[in-house]
Chain A
Amino acid sequence: MHIFANPARFLKIARPLTPWLGWSGGLLIVAALAVGLFASPADYLQGESVRILYVHVPAAWLGMGGWTGLAIASFMQLVWRHPLAAVAARAIAVPGAAFTAICLITGALWGKPTWGTYWQWDARLTSMLILLFLYIAFIALDDAERERGGEGRITAIFGLVGAVNIPIIHYSVEYWNTLHQGQSISFLRGSSSIDASMLWPLLASALGFTLLFGAVVLMRMRAALARQKVEARLRRM
């Protein structure tokens, strides 16, 4: 766990890894979305609008997975004072917020032709909107605390506590009556109610977006570390 504690060692791995993740993710996304748009079948009920699934679901997974990673990093920062953990949590916040917003917008664009409405205050939609607000609050809190020269401990506690929203989002469709449909894919049981011809482009798209997300997080971590180096040098001068 402490292998990456040393920023120099981290950068040695992160520098070559960034373009690899970025390009492989980007190419996979383009291929998966091309299949999703043109080669995959329409749904028996939703018709063509099922194609929104290939961007909506990966965005939702990354929005939720992003906060999970942010909470783990916050936990490591609080317990082990891991020097890179705070940098990682901050680096995840902006892409996590971006994909949560993409999830909400594409979901609205799917909801209109399918349900007949852009937005309803059901448990799934509302808890996902709360996730976006949590990301925005985290970013604002982080900015404010860094301006005061704090260690970011309050931000880390907020990141950890905010993680309770993740299981709420996940189980909202089972626990409450929601307009949003139940989950189609269960990784725990290894089952899916999505036909294979639609599942493969979806999983490929999700993998591609995840790789690209990783590249963005590495870029933001490298930027933060470089900025830290500059600030430390300026203070010594």
Chain B
Amino acid sequence: MSHWGFILAAYAVTGAGTIGLVAASWTAMRRAERQADALRGER
């Protein structure tokens, strides 16, 4: 049925958006916290 095309598109947009958001936030956090920890180690 043609409705499934719209449903799958909506779920794909939601899935890609959510996973992208979590992945970007997670990697940014890891990078920032690693830099902060490295600075503490230097002292």
The reply to whether A and B meet directly (CB within 8 Å) is yes
Question: Contact between B32 and A102 (Cβ–Cβ < 8 Å)?
Answer: no
Tell me if A113 and B32 are in contact (CB < 8 A): no
- Docked CA distance A48–B10 (Å): 13
Number of interface residues of B (CB under 8 A): 25
Chain A positions 79-137 with a Cβ under 8 Å from a chain B Cβ: 94-95, 98-99, 101-102, 105-106, 109-110, 112-113
Residues of A within 8 A of B4 (CB): 48
B2 touches A113 (CB 8 A): yes
Interface centre among A49, A101, A215, A226 (most CB of B within 10 A): A226
How far is A183 from B39 in the complex, measured between Cα atoms in Å? 52
Give Cα A48 to B9, complex, Å: 13
Q: Whole-angstrom distance from the CB of B31 to the nearest CB of chain A?
A: 8
Cβ of B22: which chain A residues have Cβ within 8 Å of it?
Answer: 22, 26, 212, 215-216, 219
Are A223 and B32 interface neighbours, CB within 8 A?
Answer: yes
Q: Contact: A98 with B39, CB < 8 Å? A: no
* Cα-based distance from A101 to B10 in the complex (angstroms): 12
B7–A48 touching, CB < 8 Å: yes
Query: Once the chains bind, are B29 and A102 in contact (CB under 8 Å)?
Result: no
Contact with A along B7-31 (1 / 0, CB 8 A): 1011101100110011001101101
Chain B interface (Cβ < 8 Å from any Cβ of A): 1-4, 6-7, 9-11, 13-14, 17-18, 21-22, 25-26, 28-29, 31-33, 35-36, 39
Give A contacts to B, CB under 8 Å. 22, 26, 29, 33, 37, 47-49, 51-52, 55-56, 59, 94-95, 98-99, 101-102, 105-106, 109-110, 112-113, 209, 212, 215-216, 219-220, 222-224, 226-227, 229-230, 233
List 12 additional contacts besides A95-B25, A229-B39, A230-B39; criterion CB under 8 Å.
A22-B22, A37-B11, A48-B4, A55-B14, A56-B10, A98-B17, A109-B13, A216-B21, A220-B25, A226-B33, A229-B36, A230-B35
